[in-house]
Chain A
Amino acid sequence: MNLSDIAIVGVGLTPQQKRSDRNSLQVALDAAKLALADAGLSHTDLDGIAARWPGPGGTVLAPGSADWSTLLGVPLDWIGDSYPQGVPALVDAAGAILTGQATTVLITGGQAGVLGGGRVAAYTQPGNEFVAPFGAFTSAHFALVAQRHLARHPHARQGMAEIAASIRNVGSVNPEAVMAGRGPYTADDILAAPPIVDPFTLLDLCLASEGGAAVIVTTLERARDLPHPPIVVLGAGMEWLRQQYVDPARYEQTWTIGASAARKAFAQAGIGPSDVDVAQLYDVNSLEVARQFEALGFCGPGEGTDFALATGIGLDGKLPTCTDGGLLACSHIGWGGPTLKLVEAVRQLRGECGDRQVAGAEVAIASGAGSGAQYYNLALLGRAR
């Protein structure tokens, strides 16, 4: 078996909300049940799990952590305490399956009952002793990268606003999005929103919301017997430059993070950026979308915002991007946020997105993390042939 013999066969998304009345474990379990039902599988079919949520202890081993094998009522053969979720968990799961450690793996997570009250979401406040005293929440780390980019490319500020408006307008028409029905937005609306940390306004930045997301991963062979068209992993790549949010991100090192991961993933898939039909890029802020177009090879250095505008990243554009409204307008559920990118990529490739469906989508990219976080990952997904 190769990586492209690994398939995503089920996806689950709980209601995405600003505040949920459930807790993190409950939404992770809710999402798992939805993904299993979508896959036409029972929890007793699972023999592996890669879960993560902002609870204590991790997935299974430490006292006080969630005990998934007990919770699911099935002994598991493999546990991956994937941090974070999304693509790294998918790669972990693929590795477990390819090495014969598991056949059917659940990836689930999210957050609920944890937001509210604070000035910024607690998980965005790094506790490190060389960060916390200076008030550098996560968006500030991205801002320090962005400020250096904008000093060289000041015109990118307008492009950032256009990107944010485009993604938010997609979220506006997704009934599952936290920001459903809000908008439409213009670039001027983005620029005029309250400033949070220069250059970002409130509308340049992602949400902090609550909900769960899950996917089920198995072999293509098993997938062929299941209800939905199998979506296979064409390629994947990851980069780990440095632990996030401790030593500040340096622009010259982090602006291109993802370039080598993308080269690896595209080489594995035997395709190039021009073959991508939908881009579920990790949009923690508007500039990160442009940055990824550059780093991943969709355009040249410094051309990210121009590429987005010229190509069109809305549903009617040539490269529809963040087609659920992304982290900006659909949802961002903490450690489970990266899994949202897999869910939307799979839904688009299956062709089940209704009003927001991108016609003929055959290859999708899903990514996670970014420059300010100092790590990055992406996967290329496609319909099985």
Chain B
Amino acid sequence: MSTSGLTEDFWTAVGRRELVRPVCGDCGRNFFTPQVACPACLSENWTYETSDGRGRVYSATVVHKPPSPGFAVPFRLGIVDLDEGWSMLAELVGGPGERLPAIDAPVHVTWIEREGRVLPAFTEDIS
């Protein structure tokens, strides 16, 4: 897996189980994936800030066919809109009844390990 200079700090933070995201120092915009410049104001003056890892499910699905070895199926995949105003793709794990969270269900970040590597994932909140 290649990591460019833009994204190394993201994965370093993930390695210590900390979720971070780019925040623009000029306009305050949160964005993801990391880009050279803020997509709202084109400023390169952005830094990684710690996310509280809370958000809502934008969409979610169940994957039944393994995309490659190393994936046990079925697994749940979702797009999560973080409360800070950014979003990311991630696996959905655990949660009430291990069900597929509904759209807009509240979730929080958790951590999984795959092939010796830590990855962010999200779990549906217990209501």
- Check A151 for interface membership: any CB of B closer than 8 A: yes
Which residues A129-146 have CB closer than 8 A to chain B? 129-137, 140, 143-145
Q: When the two chains form the complex, which single residue of A197, A246, A248 contacts B87, counting CB atoms closer than 8 Å?
A: A248
Interface 0/1 of B78-90, CB less than 8 Å to A: 1100000001111
Instruction: Tell yes or no: A20 within 8 A of B by CB.
Output: no
Contact A145 B59 (CB under 8 A): yes
Question: Given known contacts A129-B2, A196-B64, is B119 in contact with A251 (CB within 8 Å)?
Answer: no
B59 pairs with A136, CB closer than 8 A = no
A185 to chain B, nearest CB (A): 20
Asked whether, in the complex, the Cβ of B68 is within 8 Å of the Cβ of A135, the reply is yes
B58: interface (CB < 8 Å): yes
> CA–CA, A352 to B78, complex, Å?
46
**B66 in the interface, Cβ–Cβ < 8 Å?**
yes
| Min CB–CB distance A114 → chain B (angstroms) | 16
Cross-chain pair count, CB within 8 angstroms: 94
Report A101-141 CB contacts with B as 1/0, cut-off 8 Å: 00000000000000000111000010101111111110010
Enumerate chain B residues within 8 angstroms of A251, measured Cβ to Cβ.
Answer: 59
Q: When A130-B33, A133-B1, A135-B77 are in contact, do A144 and B61 touch as well, CB less than 8 Å?
A: yes
A246 to B62, CA, bound (A): 19
B89–A131 contact, CB under 8 A? yes
CB within 8 Å of A: which of B82-100?
87-91, 100
Partner of A250, one of B64, B67, B79: B79
Q: Which of B7, B32, B65, B91 has the most CB of A within 10 A?
A: B65
> Is A195 part of the binding interface, using a Cβ–Cβ cutoff of 8 Å?
yes
The number of chain B residues touching the other chain, given as a range, is 35 or more
Interface size on A, residues (CB 8 A): 32
Q: Would B62 and A197 count as touching, CB distance under 8 A?
A: yes
Tell me if B64 and A143 are in contact (CB < 8 A).
no
Asked if A22 is at the interface of the complex by the 8 Å CB criterion, the answer is no
The answer to whether the Cβ of A21 comes within 8 Å of any Cβ in the partner chain is: no
A135 touches B59 (CB 8 A): no
Which residues from B are CB-within-8-Å of A195? Answer: 62, 64
B65 and A136 contact, CB distance less than 8 A:
no
Cβ–Cβ contact A144 & B66, under 8 A: no
Confirm or deny: B75 has a beta carbon within 8 angstroms of a beta carbon on chain A: yes
Once bound together, how far apart are the Cα atoms of A125 and B63, in whole Å? Answer: 14
B64 to chain A, nearest CB (A): 4
Closest Cβ of chain A to B32, distance in Å, is: 8
Given known contacts A144-B77, A195-B64, A250-B79, A133 and B117 CB-to-CB distance under 8 angstroms? yes
Question: Does A197 lie within 8 Å of B60, measured CB to CB?
Answer: no
| B127 interface contact, C-beta 8 A | no
One of B69, B78, B79 near A119 (C-beta < 8 A) = B69
Q: Is the CB of B3 within 8 A of A129?
A: yes
A67 within 8 A of B: no
24 contacts between A and B (CB under 8 A): A119-B67, A119-B68, A120-B67, A127-B2, A130-B7, A133-B1, A134-B91, A134-B119, A135-B67, A135-B71, A135-B77, A136-B67, A140-B63, A140-B67, A140-B77, A144-B78, A145-B59, A148-B58, A195-B64, A196-B65, A197-B61, A197-B62, A197-B64, A250-B87
Q: Given contacts A118-B68, A127-B2, A197-B65, could you give 15 more A-B pairs where the C-beta distance is less than 8 Å?
A: A119-B66, A129-B3, A129-B7, A129-B11, A130-B33, A133-B117, A134-B119, A135-B77, A137-B67, A144-B59, A144-B77, A145-B59, A147-B103, A151-B103, A248-B79
Residues of A in contact with B (beta carbons under 8 Å apart): 118-120, 125, 127, 129-137, 140, 143-145, 147-148, 151, 194-199, 246-248, 250-251
